[in-house]
Amino acid sequence: MPDAPGLELIRGEIERDCPGAVLATSFDRAQPALVVDAEQILAVLTWLRDTPGQHYRFLSSLHVADYLPATPRFGVHYELLNRDRVERIRVKAMLADPAGDALPEIDSCVELFPTAEFQEREAFDFFGIVFRGHPDMTRILLPDDYVGWPQRRDFPIGGEPVTFTYNERNYG
Amino acid sequence: MAELLTDDLATEIMTVNIGPHHPATHGVLRLIVDLEGEVVRDLKPVIGYVHTGIEKSCEDKSYWKVIPFVERMDYVSYFFQMEAYCGAVERLVGLEIPPRAKYLRTIFLELNRIHSHLVWLGTTALDLGAISMLWYCFRERDRILDLFEMATGQRMHTRYFQVGGVIEDIPLGFEAKLREFIAEMPVRVAQYQALLDRNEVFLQRTKGVGIVSRERLLELGVTGPLLRAAGEPWDLRKTFDYLAYPEMDFQIPVGTVGDNYDRYRVRVAEMVESTRIVEQALDLMEEGPFIADDRKYVLPPRSELSTSMESLIHHFKLVTEGFRVDPGEVYYAIESPRGELGCFVLADGSSKPSRVHFRDPSFVNLQAFRDMAFGTYIADMICSLGMLDPILGGVDR
């Protein structure tokens, strides 16, 4: 893992090449993380992947966390791995919840990391985050006609109606 | 008939649905396959048939009650799910586990790895017509389950790992039984190899089939035996420092070509390496506490409850509310039998996790299936699917 000063060095170098991209850094529980501007996520990921001396070429995991009631609400996490130096770094893009029925959007990184294809679909499926430029932005685990984004924090547990109601109908 | 087989007919693409309830899909996996004759021209896996919302359910449980949930994701490698989750929570709260717990966890993880590979070998060989392999593999698998039952009381979904260590020490007689098993296991593996390695049918069905280059596998995020079979010696047990693995002397089997035969060879060799790890862990393990002595996170011993008011209070707090975890987030990845199994836990300060996410290797590896099966015969596609070894409980969660 890059240590805390190493993380600041990375931040400084990104700042030189893509000004304003990194909003903050954190070094919580010895895990380095960069909080980046969601509009520049592809620039930062490309930089981390291709810059000589960085080579975070492996995307371990892409997942979303809902930080409700904090704003901005959604965090898209990219767990990057440099396999030569055996170092992990987390890139977080925070997305605000747009008003009404609109869905938060971010650029898809499938072109950079083909492994993200399923994981971005999963993020869309459960959190309703649209990845712009994804080749097939459809639900992956839930049925296509499902309504709602069940892993958001304001979606209640038990919010799913029970479809097998035989006993309820006949004896309830 | 001859004039019927014109070019038009030969190139007609037929779309076939396989599954979700098909014995050769190793679970509830549905495949939509475009076939030209018998050759696979395109393929799309459709998943989600056993999605049970485990990640969502975890958000409603206190930290210690999540453990049995996550075990049921990938139901063949339950110890790995527990380790990924418990390890992530331990890193969140900053809890060190005692040395004996490290060795015990390593032992059970490696036994589970052998168990998982045995299930894989039995079912995959069955797909290729080698029916006797299933009985031989499940015979040894049953002995592992007996060991699990002896130590934990359960054959599957043992809930043995706790935040801070393991729930109980191993019972008397366990070590002798385990040593007997690990002495015998390499012999059994040699027998499997004797059955398959020079079996003409098996060789013809696996050699040169389903090759994917290692660059492509890395792009697709594939890890575990699939990646190692393509010649990439990447194993989190060697690269990252967790549990007792840094002290262990073991090798990472790698393949050369990356075909289905290499995948088979790598997994079989891994079983032997796992027995070596178990043996070393048994030798190095010393007497001592098997769970951390931190009453804020770990249940006090049962015997103290009738004598110590403090212990009773801790016990009550832990069982009713559970422990609280300061806000923060952790991603912890381990090497499961299928590759990198990552667990992300987000804590919001309460006694329930605000998000639990599993980066399941089966889910990510399944993306490589199209590349593995593309342009091969449909029978080879079934073979490649077996060699991919997806556990649909882990894919769908």
Q: Give me the pLDDT at residue B87, please.
A: 93
Is B92 close to A60, i.e. CB distance below 8 A? no
Are the CB atoms for B120 and B389 separated by under 8 Å? yes
Q: Is the dihedral of CA B119, B121, B126, B132 positive or negative?
A: negative
**Tokens coding B112:** 């589970």
Is B328 close to A63, i.e. CB distance below 8 A? no
- The H-assigned helical ranges of A71-171 are 116-127, 166-171
Which uninterrupted H or E stretch holds A59?
strand A58-66
Which neighbouring-strand residues pair with B72? Answer: none
CA distance A36 to A25: 9
Nearest to B47 among A31, A88, A141 (CB): A141
Is B367 close to A114, i.e. CB distance below 8 A? yes
B94 CB neighbours in chain A (<8 A) are: 29
**pLDDT by residue (tens digit) across A118-157?**
999 999 999 999 999 999 999 999 988 888 898 998 888 8
Asked if B34 reaches chain A (Cβ–Cβ under 8 Å), the answer is no
DSSP-assigned letters across all residues of B250-319: ------SS-SHHHHHHHHHHHHHHHHHHHHHHHHH--SS-SB---TTTSPPPGGGGGT-HHHHHHHHHHH
Closest to A85 (Cα-Cα) out of A131, A37, A140, A48: A48
Is A28 close to B328, i.e. CB distance below 8 A? yes
Nearest to B342 among A29, A79, A122 (CB): A79
**Residue in B364, B365, B369 to test binding to A, most A beta-carbons within 10 Å:** B364
According to DSSP, residue A172 is labeled -
CA distance B71 to B79: 7
User: Shortest Cα distance from B83 to chain A (angstroms)?
Assistant: 18
Give the up-direction half-sphere exposure of residue B9: CA atoms within 13 A in the CB hemisphere. 6
CA distance B356 to B70: 9
Q: Give me the pLDDT at residue B4, please.
A: 46
CA distance B331 to B344: 4
Asked if B179 reaches chain A (Cβ–Cβ under 8 Å), the answer is no
How many CB atoms lie under 10 A from the CB of residue B377? 16
Note the Cα B159 to chain centre separation in Å. Answer: 15
Is A65 close to B340, i.e. CB distance below 8 A? no
Are the CB atoms for B312 and B324 separated by under 8 Å? no
Beta strands in chain B, from DSSP E residues, in sequence order: 13-18, 30-36, 39-46, 161-162, 165-166, 328-336, 339-347, 353-359
User: Shortest Cα distance from A96 to chain B (angstroms)?
Assistant: 18
CATH architecture of B54-295+324-396: Orthogonal Bundle (1.10)
User: Shortest Cα distance from B298 to chain A (angstroms)?
Assistant: 20
B354 CB neighbours in chain A (<8 A) are: 65-67, 153
B93 CB neighbours in chain A (<8 A) are: none
Closest to B270 (Cα-Cα) out of B193, B217, B172: B193
Asked if B59 reaches chain A (Cβ–Cβ under 8 Å), the answer is yes
Residue A98 sits in which domain range? 4-171
Is A157 close to B331, i.e. CB distance below 8 A? no
* CATH number of the domain residue A43 falls in: 3.30.460.80
User: Shortest Cα distance from A103 to chain B (angstroms)?
Assistant: 20
Is B366 close to A113, i.e. CB distance below 8 A? no
This complex has an ipTM of 0.89
Is B48 close to A65, i.e. CB distance below 8 A? no
Which amino acid makes up residue A59?
L
CA distance A136 to A11: 33
Give the chain B residue nearest A28 (alpha carbons): B328
CA-atom Rg of chain A in angstroms: 19
CA distance A33 to A24: 9
User: Shortest Cα distance from B91 to chain A (angstroms)?
Assistant: 7
Which uninterrupted H or E stretch holds B117?
helix B99-127
Spans in chain A with pLDDT lower than 50: none
User: Shortest Cα distance from A145 to chain B (angstroms)?
Assistant: 13
Which amino acid makes up residue B351?
S
Longest dimension (CA), chain A: 70
Q: Give me the pLDDT at residue B337, please.
A: 93
Is A157 close to B60, i.e. CB distance below 8 A? yes
**Tokens coding B36:** 């030209």
**pLDDT by residue (tens digit) across B111-134?**
999 999 999 999 999 888 888 999
User: Shortest Cα distance from A107 to chain B (angstroms)?
Assistant: 18
Q: Give me the pLDDT at residue A159, please.
A: 63
What's the total number of domains in chain A?
1
Which neighbouring-strand residues pair with A59? Answer: A80
**pLDDT by residue (tens digit) across B231-265?**
889 999 999 889 889 999 999 999 998 899 999 99
Give the chain A residue nearest B94 (alpha carbons): A29
Residues 6+ apart with CB under 8 A from B372: B210, B212, B384, B387, B388
Report the 3 state secondary structure along B340-366.
Answer: EEEEEEEECCCCCEEEEEEECHHHHHH
For residue B36, with 0-12 CB atoms within 10 Å meaning exposed, 13-18 middle and 19 or more buried, which class applies? middle
Spans in chain B with pLDDT lower than 50: 1-5
B65 CB neighbours in chain A (<8 A) are: none
Q: Which long-range contacts (CB under 8 A, 24 or more apart) does B155-160 make?
A: B156/B75, B156/B78, B157/B68, B157/B71, B157/B72, B157/B75, B157/B78, B158/B71, B158/B78, B158/B79, B159/B67, B159/B68, B159/B71, B159/B82, B160/B79, B160/B82, B160/B108
Is B355 close to A157, i.e. CB distance below 8 A? no
CA distance A113 to B92: 28
Which pTM does this prediction carry?
Answer: 0.91
Exposure string of B342-352, with b = 16+ CB inside 10 Å and e = fewer, is bbbbbbbeebb
Task: Return the domain boundaries, chain B.
Answer: 2-43, 54-295+324-396
The size of chain B, in residues, is 397
Strands B353-359 and B39-46: unpaired
How many inter-chain contacts (A to B, CB under 8 Å) are there? Answer: 98
